[in-house]
Structure 1
Amino acid sequence: MIGRIRGTLVEKQPPEVLIDVAGVGYEIQMPMTSFYQLPALNEEVVVYTHFVVREDAQLLFGFADKMERSLFRELIKANGVGPKLALTILSGMSASQFMVCVQNEDVSSLVAMPGIGKKTAERLVVELRDRLAKFGKIQDVNLPDLPMESTNGASVVPINDVREDAASALVALGYKPTQASKMVSGVYTSDMDSEALIREALRAAL
C-alpha cells in the first residue's frame, strides 16, 4: 500500500497531478478540495494516498490530509459508490461539509452532484451515519474563500483555455459536457484561473 507521496509537483491538470519522486513520476487523481491546496509547480508537495488495484488499471488517489482520505475510504465501502463517484463527492464539498450533510440527513445537497440520485443519497446517509460518528460532531461549515492567484509577472492563460480546462475537469468528475460548459459559463469572470473557475462552478451547482 502506498500511503504517502512526497516529491516535486511537476504537472497539474485537474483532477490529476504528476509528482516526481526521485525520478519516478506518480500520476495521482485528487478531489478538487485537495487540489486547491496544492503549491505552485516545481515546489515540494506531500499528499496522503489510497491505492486502488483493478483488473484493468492501478489507480492512485491523493488527499491533502488524512481526514479526507479516511472519508474517501468510508465512501468507497458504501454500496454503489466507487472511487470516481467518491472523488466527485469530495470535489463538490469538503469532508466536513459532507459529514454535516450526513448528520443532518441533507439529501438535497447530495443529489445536486452528478451520479447521485435520491435513492443513492438516502442510502449514503443511512450507511454512513453511524460509521462517520467516529469523526466526531461537525458543526455547519462553509468552504473558505479561495484567494485568486495573481497574474503579475506570469503569463496570462487565454480565456478559452481557462474555460476549456475547467469544463474538461468537470467532465472528468462526472458532469456531462453540456452541463459542464453551462456551469463554467454561469460563473466565469475575466480574473479567474481554471482552478478558481472550477471551484466556483462546483459551489454554484450545490
Structure 2
Amino acid sequence: MIAHIRGQLLYKIPNYVVVDCGGVGYELWISVTTFTELGEVGSEVRLHVHTHVREDALQLFGFYEVTEKLLFEKLLTISGIGPKLAITVLSGITADRLVAAIRGGDHGTLTKIPGIGKKTAERVVLELKDKMEGLAGAVPVSGSATPSLGATAEDVLSALVNLGYPRPIAQKAVESAAKDSAVSADFEKLFRAAMAAVR
C-alpha cells in the first residue's frame, strides 16, 4: 500500500502527474486543487497517496493536503461514488466549501458539482454529515502565481476534457468563463467558472 510519495515532478497536466521516485515513475490522478499547489516540472513534490485496487487495475490518487485525501476517502464510502467521481467532486469545489455544504445539508451546492445528482447529494449529507469533525479550514488557498490567460485557458480546457466533457462543449464553457477578467488569469477560479458554464 503506497501512502506517500516524495520525488521529482516529471510531468503534470490538470488531473494527472508523473513523479520520479528513485528512478521509477509513478502516475497519479490528482484534483485541480492539488494541481494548483504543485511547482514546476523538475521540482521536488510530496503527495499523500490513496492506493485504489480493483480486479483489473491499480490506481494511485495524489493529494497535496492530507485533508483532501481524507475527504476523498470519505466520499468513496458513499454508494455510487467511485474514485473518478470523487476526484471530480474535489475539483469542482474547495474542500472548505464541501465540508460546509455537507455539514449544513446544502443539497443545492452539492448538486452543482458535475456527476452529483439530488439522490447522491442526499446520500452524501446523510452519511457524512457527522464525519466532518476536524476537516474544515485545513486546506489553504493557493498563493502560487498563475500563468498567462492563454496558458490558463488551455490548462482548464485540458482538465475539462480529461474529466470527460466533449472538447467543443468544454471549449465554449472556457471561452465564456474567460470573459470575466476577475477569473480569467486564475486557473482554479477559471476552472470552476467553466465547470458551472458547461452544465
Match of 1:185 in 2: 175
1:179 CA drift (Å): 3.8
Match of 2:13 in 1: 13
In the alignment, the residues of structure 2 paired with residue 150 and residue 115 of structure 1 have an alpha-carbon distance, to the nearest angstrom, of: 29
* Range with greater deviation from structure 2 (63-72 or 172-181): 172-181
* Range with greater deviation from structure 2 (167-176 or 52-61): 167-176
Counterpart secondary structure, 1:80: coil
In the alignment, the residues of structure 1 paired with residue 37 and residue 75 of structure 2 have an alpha-carbon distance, to the nearest angstrom, of: 22
Alignment of 1:47-126 (within 5 A): 47-126=47-126
The answer to whether the aligner puts 1:202 opposite 2:192 as a matched pair is yes
**Matched letter for residue 146 of structure 2:** E
Provide, for residues 107-153 of structure 1, a one-character-per-residue CA deviation record: whole Å limited to 9, x for no partner: 11111111111111111111110122x326x47x99847554367xx
Match of 2:42 in 1: 42
Gaps of 5+ in 2: none
Aligned length: 194
In the alignment, the residues of structure 2 paired with residue 103 and residue 204 of structure 1 have an alpha-carbon distance, to the nearest angstrom, of: 26
Contact 1:48–1:64 (CA under 8 A) maintained in structure 2: yes
Match of 2:157 in 1: 167
In the alignment, the residues of structure 2 paired with residue 41 and residue 125 of structure 1 have an alpha-carbon distance, to the nearest angstrom, of: 38
Counterpart secondary structure, 1:135: coil
TM-score, length basis structure 1: 0.81
Contact 1:112–1:205 (CA under 8 A) maintained in structure 2: no
Distance 1:119 1:95, change over 3 A: same
Distance 1:101 1:204, change over 3 A: farther
Match of 1:23 in 2: 23
Distance 1:60 1:99, change over 3 A: same
Instruction: Name the Cα RMSD after superposition.
Output: 2.9
Percent identical: 39
In the alignment, the residues of structure 2 paired with residue 204 and residue 129 of structure 1 have an alpha-carbon distance, to the nearest angstrom, of: 28
Contact 2:34–2:64 (CA under 8 A) maintained in structure 1: yes
Gaps of 5+ in 1: 152-156
Match of 1:128 in 2: 128
Match of 2:146 in 1: 149
Contact 2:65–2:139 (CA under 8 A) maintained in structure 1: no
1:20 CA drift (Å): 0.4
In the alignment, the residues of structure 1 paired with residue 185 and residue 86 of structure 2 have an alpha-carbon distance, to the nearest angstrom, of: 20
